[in-house]
Amino acid sequence: MFGKKPADSKKPNQGAEQGAKRTDAKLERQASYRAGFDGASFEPEMNEGFREIKHRAFTRLIDVIDAAMVLRMDIADGRAHIARLLNEILISERIQVSAAEESRLLNEIADDMLGFGPLERFLTRDDISDIMVNGTEPIYVEVGGLVKRTETRFSDNAQLLNVCQRIVSLVGRRVDEASPICDARLQDGSRVNVIIPPISLNGPALTIRRFQAERLTINQLVTIGTISAAGAELVRIIARTRCNVLIVGGTGSGKTTLLNIMTGFIDHNERIVTCEDTAELQLQQPHVVRLETRPPNIEGKGEITMRELVRNCLRMRPDRIIVGEVRGPEAFDLLQAMNTGHDGSLGTLHANSPTEAITRMTSLVTMGYGSLQNDVIERMFASSIDIIIQIDRLRDGSRRITQITEVVDAGGSEIQLRDIMVFDIDIDQAAEGLRVKGEHRMLNPPEGQLRMRAAYYGEREQLERVIGKALD
């Protein structure tokens, strides 16, 4: 890819200067892309006249540019070089464009040569969490929890396929007819899924889940209404007292974000081992071992599954095990780890309620251990999991922690779930056009492991103060 300068080509005293140039270039692109955005279409659709001008200018630029020289440049310098050449071409070819059209020409051509084409304008925006490309149809993005249609699109499937190939090649993977589905990761940690024909009937489909470089804090969740102040303190106590926690919710509900926040309350003297399909967690502790699964190669060999990672964790003397997402038979090994001295372990799970989480964990365990009876698995669940935290994305795009539920191991055949806190939605509000309203309410004081652990770790008074004040 153009603009990737070799690491050893910079002089030591030029690091700060080059970093500043990259930052300035990014800010410049952001300002340019934001100019004219209306929040719904993001930019005017490319008309036939502009498309012809771009093709003419791009073809002429390819003839005169020194690709090898651009390859040795920093991205900011490469962009400036392309801008100079483009200006000369417009003058020499007598191509008349407005200032806005010239800026757009530069953005799109520089993106094609230095970045990921039409995607680049979205990858530079921090408020976009998902990017969805469906062939040559308009690109969709998620902003503020809501999916919006843009007028930006790839010119043809060949351009899109080329970008897909460049993305997956960055992590040493490939996507072709023999292997038409691929998961990859951008350099900033963003998750990428690519699926191409013949599996995808309408051209290549590309989905990018953005990685947020800025880590949210529990106070920010309180500010945006995801949790109340009392609920935030309860979450801190849960993490601090080494409760075994399962965070559940739907796709894009914020499970990993909440998991990241909870890891911030872990003591710095604990050894933590993380297992993820795609590395997203941003732990700040000094003693962290990060593990990531590996897909099979083109010959179908070399795969490292999540189950293997979790089982290997037990040999690594962890204080806590954190599983990015439980989605297979590793559920059994995680429950075993939680029940054999690895208190304070955490994981996320796709489920729509704490009750459904039990059913889902049971089904995942039976995927690898079909001989186990459901009641045995449920007993194991009750003795392993202390707290279930439910987080949901509501219809207006906002995220809310809707339930903090305690798993009470009463020794019977059925698992007892006891809600400590819930989010009550105002059902009388209008169905459309309004932000979802409601409030977090404390329902019951904890009676199980949370209460005992709070006493053991010196948090009992604070727990009683928070619960008592919220219940008054």
SS3 labels along 344-360: CCEEEEECCCHHHHHHH
pLDDT band at 458 (very low <50, low <70, confident <90, very high): very high
pLDDT in tens, 187-240: 777 889 999 999 999 899 999 988 776 778 999 999 999 999 999 999 999 999
CATH 3.20.20.370 matches 117-212: no
Domains in the chain: boundaries: 1-115, 117-212, 218-471
Phi-psi region of 436 (alpha: psi -120 to 50; beta: other; left: phi over 0): beta
What would the pLDDT profile of 49-104 be if each residue is shown by its tens digit?
A: 777 887 788 778 877 877 667 767 777 787 888 888 888 888 888 888 888 888 88
Residues 218-471, CATH architecture: 3-Layer(aba) Sandwich (3.40)
Question: Which of 77-91, 148-162, 323-337 has the highest mean predicted lDDT (pLDDT)?
Answer: 323-337
How far apart are alpha carbons 259 and 248 in whole angstroms? 10
Closest CA to 388 of 369, 367, 411, 416: 416
Q: What value does the mean pLDDT of the chain take?
A: 84
pLDDT at position 41: 46
* Mean pLDDT along residues 4-14: 40
pLDDT in tens, 360-380: 999 999 998 888 898 899 999
Q: What proportion of the chain, given as a percentage, has pLDDT over 70?
A: 87
Q: What amino acid occupies position 152?
A: T
**171-209 as b/e, with b when 16 or more CB fall inside 10 Å?**
eebebeeebeebbbbbeebbbbebbbeeebeebbbbbbb
pTM: 0.77
Label the pairing between strands 346-350 and 387-393: unpaired
